[in-house]
Amino acid sequence: MVVKKRAAVIAALSMLLLLMLSRPSHQQFSNYSCNCYRECYLGCKHAFPMLCKVVCGGSCDDKNDPVAACMVACTKDSLCGVPAAPSGAAYCSHACNDTWGRHGRAKVP
């Protein structure tokens, strides 16, 4: 009897864990950031499509943390309804650190 209850509890916890791990990320851009990203991407996609996620993702952050915003952009196939040019996650993350990491957090005027 105890063994059956223990097995049921383990099965329930395993299912709960699987459901929690499969949830999509809650990191999203705000409306302001999405509008900025769309405008930036339209101007960027013809000149530097591989860097658009990095440039637009980091420069369109309303939380003053361009590195984090850039990293979020790197993890998305589509950001704010705009399909992004394919780029490897490792390359994109490295480019985020190179582009935005040196400057630290942006200062609010």
Q: Residue 30 is encoded by which pair of tokens? A: 């705000």
Residue 88, domain member (yes or no): yes
| Helix or strand (DSSP H, E) at 84 | none
* Residue 19 placed within a domain: no
3-class DSSP string for 22-68: CCCCCCCCCHHHHHHHHHHHHHHCCCCHHHHHHHHHHHCCCCCCHHH
- pLDDT at residue number 14: 67
Spans of the chain, pLDDT less than 50: 22-26, 105-109
CA distance 46 to 73: 18
Domain membership of residue 50 (yes or no) is yes
Residue 75 burial (CB count, 10 A): 14
51, two tokens: 């860097």
Judge contact between 38 and 52, C-beta under 8 A.
no
- Full domain range(s) for residue 53: 31-103
Tell me if 35 is assigned to some domain.
yes
Residue 11 domain-assigned (yes or no): no
Residue 85 placed within a domain = yes
Residue 24, pLDDT score: 43
In a domain, 38, yes or no: yes
Q: Which pLDDT value is given to residue 100?
A: 86
Q: Residue 2 domain-assigned? A: no
pLDDT at 50: 76
pLDDT of residue 25: 44
Specify the pTM: 0.59
Give residue 16's pLDDT.
55
What total number of domains does the chain contain?
A: 1
